[in-house]
Amino acid sequence: ACRPAPTASRSNTSCRCQSTYNHFVGQDAPRTPEASSGFTLAVKDNIATADLPTQCASRILAGHQSPFEATIVRQLRERGAFVVGKTNMDEFGMGSHSTNSSHGPVRNPLSDDVAAGGSSGGSAVAVQLGDAEMAIGTDTGGSIRLPAAYTGTVGYKPSYGMISRFGVVPYANSLDTVGVIAKDAESIRSLVFDTGIHKENDPNDPTSLPTASRERCSAAVRRQPFDLSGLTIGIPLEYNIQELDPSIREAWDSAARTLQKQGAQVVPVSLPTTTEALCAYYVLAPAEASSNLAKYDGVRYGARSEERDGPGEPLYSRTRGAGFGDEVKRRILLGTYSLSSEAMDNYFIQAQKVRRLVQRDFDRVFRAENPLQDPRQFDLSDMAEATGMADKHGPVQVDFLLSPTAPTFPPKLSELRGQSSVDAFMNDVFTVPASLAGLPAVSIPAPVEGSVFPAGLQLIGQYWNDERMLVVAEKLQ
């Protein structure tokens, strides 16, 4: 069994009920384990559990009970997890504030009327309040890191393909990952790496990295320095945007100095495609979502509308009209459009090209080659030259990148009511690049003087360099 995370304080919780923060789904309080061994775990409601419904905060899956359990839930139960409950989220993972939910918005315990971040907001709040020592969520474009930043918890998104997604309701398959939220980076590292979850291929998930590739990636990572004094940390200049809150900029600066004091070299780097990443993400993710959500038609899947086929309005359109929330409908329309023959070349294909450029930006600044794409591994050095893949820009390469997780502190729920979806997309500007590149990233809270909200700082590592990245995260806490 893994070493349980330090027991979180349960003080101040006696008069708290579900309506206070709305972070659990269908229950007022966390379930409590009979025996005290192992650890408590909250599970986002798009991850299948055998004993509790899995509804993805959507009316279309109201009351849905999965006939099987997600691999990650089984793996964690084997390591001593007790599931305290399912957590509220943005419907199907679509959102940045956990307000797009059929159960109503999640509220941030740090202050009244403030958003908890999304889409794994319920999981972050469960950890923040000490209802669970660990929580799992999904991160497609920032959904673990953003709520972690907004609630002052640590949120880890693994390398794509490391943790099984079998039993996780897909949003955008080429981006979806399952990750962990806890109070500190060390307990996440110990849960995933000391117990060997990272070594386990899942034959039920075709994107789960095969065992041989895992070994090859781990061998590549082992060659890199572990000690902070041998590390170089890059500060991506494009992340210093005008909209960045000055206190977050200050926290970013002081974290860089902390690492420097501990012996790391800190250097500026450039990731030129960063500004395009957000646009590419919001073309690709809805496109994949529109395809994924096609199956909820009331015939094959989903809660069926009571009414029968009517003239001009078949059963499935009634079902989908009533079952999906507004944001999900918007994404389906957007995704269907960008995949249409009329728009495919201008939107979907362009976005795929931008995605490749974003990946290349990262591969250029990281000292380590991407173990999945290192052309020399397969002796394709000619191709490497022709495509420029092997060329590394700039004088120094880095081991990790340090940036803020979000440009601002969490917004007020009342302010969000008047916002457009595009305003909400802005919160993901720093988290989507690592998602597009399939890289590991973690958000760590940094205290801000005079503010109840800490700043979320993000570390990004080369592919499969997750464990070392979490070690560096520990030095920042």
Closest residue to ligand GLN using C-beta atoms? 143
Site string for ligand GLN, 228-267 (x = CB under 6 A): ----------------------------------------
Name which of 288 and 297 has its Cβ closer to ligand GLN.
288
Q: Is there a catalytic annotation at residue 119?
A: yes
Site string for ligand GLN, 95-114 (x = CB under 6 A): xx------------------
Q: Is there a catalytic annotation at residue 421?
A: no
Q: Candidates 54, 75, 119, 405: give the one binding ligand GLN (CB under 6 A).
A: 119
93 near ligand GLN (CB under 6 A): yes
Taking CB under 6 A as the binding criterion, the range among 30-38, 137-145, 183-191, 312-320 that sits at the site for ligand GLN is 137-145
285 near ligand GLN (CB under 6 A): yes
Taking CB under 6 A as the binding criterion, the range among 94-102, 258-266, 357-365, 370-378 that sits at the site for ligand GLN is 94-102
Least distance in angstroms from the C-beta of 384 to ligand GLN: 32
Name which of 137 and 298 has its Cβ closer to ligand GLN.
137
Name which of 264 and 287 has its Cβ closer to ligand GLN.
287
Least distance in angstroms from the C-beta of 378 to ligand GLN: 32
Least distance in angstroms from the C-beta of 42 to ligand GLN: 17
Catalytic residue among 143, 290, 338, 443: 143
Least distance in angstroms from the C-beta of 86 to ligand GLN: 16
156 near ligand GLN (CB under 6 A): no
Closest of 121, 158, 98 to residue 42, by C-alpha: 121
Catalytic residue among 102, 119, 164, 208: 119
Least distance in angstroms from the C-beta of 441 to ligand GLN: 11
Q: What is the 3-state secondary structure (H, E, C) of the chain?
A: CCCCCCCCCCCCCCCCCHHHHCCECCCCCCCCCCCCCCEEEEEECCECCCCCCCCCCCHHHCCCCCCCCCHHHHHHHHCCEEEEEEECCCHHHCCCCCCCCCCCCCECCCCCCEECCCCCHHHHHHHHCCCCCEEEEEECCCCCHHHHHHHCCEEEECCCCCCCCCCECCCCCCCCEEEEEECCHHHHHHHHHHCCHHHCCCCCCCCCCCHHHHHHHHHHHHCCCCCHHHCEEEEEHHHCCCCCCHHHHHHHHHHHHHHHHCCCEEEEECCCCHHHHHHHHHHHHHHHHHHHHHHCCCCCCCCCCCCCCECCECHHHHHHHHHCCHHHHHHHHHHHHHCCCCCHHHHHHHHHHHHHHHHHHHHHHECCCCCCCCHHHHCCHHHHHHHCCCCCCCCCCECEEEEECCCCCCCEHHHHCCCCHHHHHHHHCCCHHHHHHCCCEEEEEECCCCCCCCEEEEEEECCCCHHHHHHHHHHHC
Name which of 119 and 195 has its Cβ closer to ligand GLN.
119
CA atoms within 13 A on the CB side of 65: 5
Give CA–CA dist 78/103, Å, rounded. Answer: 30
Taking CB under 6 A as the binding criterion, the range among 8-16, 88-96, 108-116, 334-342 that sits at the site for ligand GLN is 88-96
Q: Is there a catalytic annotation at residue 157?
A: no
Q: Candidates 122, 142, 155, 371: give the one binding ligand GLN (CB under 6 A).
A: 142
Least distance in angstroms from the C-beta of 146 to ligand GLN: 7
Size of the site for ligand GLN (CB under 6 A): 14
Q: Candidates 139, 202, 363, 399: give the one binding ligand GLN (CB under 6 A).
A: 139
What phi and psi, each to the nearest 5 degrees, are found at residue 464? Answer: 70, 10
Residue 368's region, left for phi above 0, alpha for psi from -120 to 50, else beta, is: beta
Least distance in angstroms from the C-beta of 105 to ligand GLN: 15
Closest of 386, 420, 427 to residue 150, by C-alpha: 427
Q: Quick one: CA torsion of 160, 166, 168, 173, rounded to 10 degrees? A: 50
Q: Candidates 141, 152, 407, 438: give the one binding ligand GLN (CB under 6 A).
A: 141
- Residues 426-445 close enough to bind ligand GLN by CB under 6 A: 428
Q: Candidates 21, 166, 171, 296: give the one binding ligand GLN (CB under 6 A).
A: 171
Name which of 301 and 425 has its Cβ closer to ligand GLN.
425
Name which of 95 and 456 has its Cβ closer to ligand GLN.
95
Tell me if 170 sits within 8 A of 292, measured CB to CB.
yes
Least distance in angstroms from the C-beta of 60 to ligand GLN: 17
Q: Which residues bind ligand GLN (CB under 6 A)?
A: 93-96, 119, 138-143, 171, 285, 428
Catalytic residues: 44, 119, 143
